[in-house]
Amino acid sequence: MASAALALVVQEDDTNLESEIVKDMIKQLRSIDAYDTYAGWSEAKIIDPIVLTKERKQGIPVIGDPDEITIARLKAYYNSLATLIEKKSGLMAAPMVHLSHEGFGRALIMVGKLVVVDKILRDTHRFGFASLEDLKEKSDQAIEKALGLIEKYNAAATD
C-alpha cells in the first residue's frame, strides 16, 4: 500500500509536460528548492505532487492546516499564472496570495490597478489538479480571461 502512495501519476511521456504552465511551474518550483531536493529529478517527478487523484485526495485529511510545501506549490502556481499573463500581455503582472494559518484566503493577480485574477482559496491543504491536462485547461482559461480584462480595461491595466 505504501508503494502505491509513492507511485508517480504523471508519466514521463505526458504531452502536457510541454505546456507553458507546467514548464513555468517546474521553473518556479526549482527556484524555491533551497536544499537541492529536486537535483536529478525528472520534470514529471517534480510536478507530480500537484496532481491529486481521488486516491491521493482521500489520503489528505479533510481538516488540517496546509504544510509549507503545499503553500509553496500554491504560490508557484499563481506566480506562473502571473508570469504567463505578463508574457502574453507585455504588462507587469503581480501575484498576491494571502492565507490564514488554516489555509483560507485569496489569490489575486494585478496588472496595473486592474485585478485580472481573483480566486477565493479554501482547503488549500488539498491544493492540486485532477491531471496535468486539468491544470493546463484551467490555467489557459484563467489566462484568457485575464487577457480579456486587460483588453477591455486597458486604461486601468496600464495605469
For 85-95, the pLDDT digits (tens) are 999 999 999 99
* pLDDT value of residue 6: 64
Which residues contact residue 84 at a Cβ distance below 8 angstroms, ignoring those fewer than 6 apart? 20, 21, 24, 139, 143
pTM: 0.93
pLDDT confidence band for 65 (50 / 70 / 90):
confident
Topology of the domain covering 14-157: Putative cytoplasmic protein (1.10.3100)
Please, what's the b/e burial string for 20-29 (b: 16 or more CB within 10 A of its CB; e: otherwise)?
A: bbbebbbebb
Q: Helix or strand or coil: residue 104?
A: coil
pLDDT digits (tens, 9 = 90+) for 15-57: 999 999 999 999 999 999 999 999 999 999 999 999 999 999 9
Helix (H, G, I), strand (E, B) or coil at 98: strand
What would the pLDDT profile of 87-145 be if each residue is shown by its tens digit?
999 999 999 999 998 899 999 999 999 999 999 999 899 999 999 999 999 999 999 99
Q: How many residues does the chain have?
A: 159
**Those residues with Cβ within 8 angstroms of residue 12's Cβ, 6 or more apart along the chain or in another chain:** 42, 44
Strands (DSSP E) found in 11-149 = 93-99, 105-111, 114-121
Contacts of 21 (CB under 8 A, 6+ apart): 80, 81, 84, 135, 136, 139, 140
pLDDT of res. 159 = 87
Q: How far apart are the first and last CA of the chain?
A: 55
According to DSSP, residue 12 is labeled T
* Rounded-to-integer distance, Cα 12 and Cα 97, Å: 31
Q: What residues does each domain of the chain span?
A: 14-157
